[in-house]
Amino acid sequence: MNRKRFRATGFLSFGLILVLDMAWPARAETQQTSYPSMAPLDQYLMDRNAEIAMARSAAPEAISGDAEILVLGRLGYETAVKGKNGFVCVVDRNWTGQFEGEGSEKFWNPRMRGPICFNPPAARSILPITVKRTELVLAGQSKAQIFESMKAFVKQGLPPLEPGAMSYMMSKDQYLTDGSPHHWIAHLMFYTPLMDGAVWGADLSKSPVMLNPQFHGDPEPIDVFMVPAGWWSDGTPDPVKAD
């Protein structure tokens, strides 16, 4: 398969929080900076109200306005606002990204912020990955230790992937690269079991569907398909398109 090349800046959250090194060269200026170890925790934390607002910006207000909002604290993610509609919005840090491959050198980048809003099936079956990785980070584990711990979590504690799991990443406030601009594009993400991207027509000429290499089955047995939304969560246009 002739697959587009990505620069991964974070999971994205599983959200993966990715900057494409392909169709948007003018929008994705990158810096070759590596982050070999975790920075002091304070560098990953945010003002609580600012984090709530950033998390909400991941999806249109009609969705995020009634969503549960999580914020990162010193002991892990905690509920800042209780929700009513089953959606959960959170700001991912880069340790939810790739363990290996291009972009993995930014695993510990403390600047990265990926606002993402999970629908109810994803909140139940994808969000636990973010929560668990963060728990391991705050326990002081190295990237290699987190990888091994996540392998065990997949076998013993990860809920089954629910049909219909998807998320919104439509925030203008996303910080996904140290280059300029710091954001990528407004997009939706769909979570599936591992499969051939051709089933979705992913990465084919003029296709809007892209296969996100965030998980690639190692250790989480999940594929993530991304589709540009065409506008930001505030309704303003985001006209960027793939080749």
Would residue 49 count as lying in a domain?
yes
Could you give the number of structural domains in the chain? 1
Would residue 238 count as lying in a domain?
no
Would residue 69 count as lying in a domain?
yes
pLDDT-based confidence at residue 214 (cuts at 50, 70, 90): low
Would residue 243 count as lying in a domain?
no
Would residue 181 count as lying in a domain?
yes
Would residue 103 count as lying in a domain?
yes
- Under 8 Å between Cβ of 227 and 242: no
For residue range 32-88, list pLDDT tens digits in order. Answer: 477 999 999 999 999 999 999 999 999 999 999 999 999 999 999 999 999 999 999
Residues 6+ apart with CB under 8 A from 225: 189, 190, 192, 197, 200, 202, 209, 210, 211, 212
Question: Pick from 31, 39, 46: which is nearest to 108 by CA?
Answer: 39
Give the separation between CA 105 and CA 10, rounded to whole angstroms: 10
For residue range 122-143, list pLDDT tens digits in order. Answer: 999 999 999 999 999 999 999 9
pTM: 0.86
Would residue 241 count as lying in a domain?
no
Would residue 234 count as lying in a domain?
no
Domain of residue 190: give its range: 6-228
DSSP 125: H
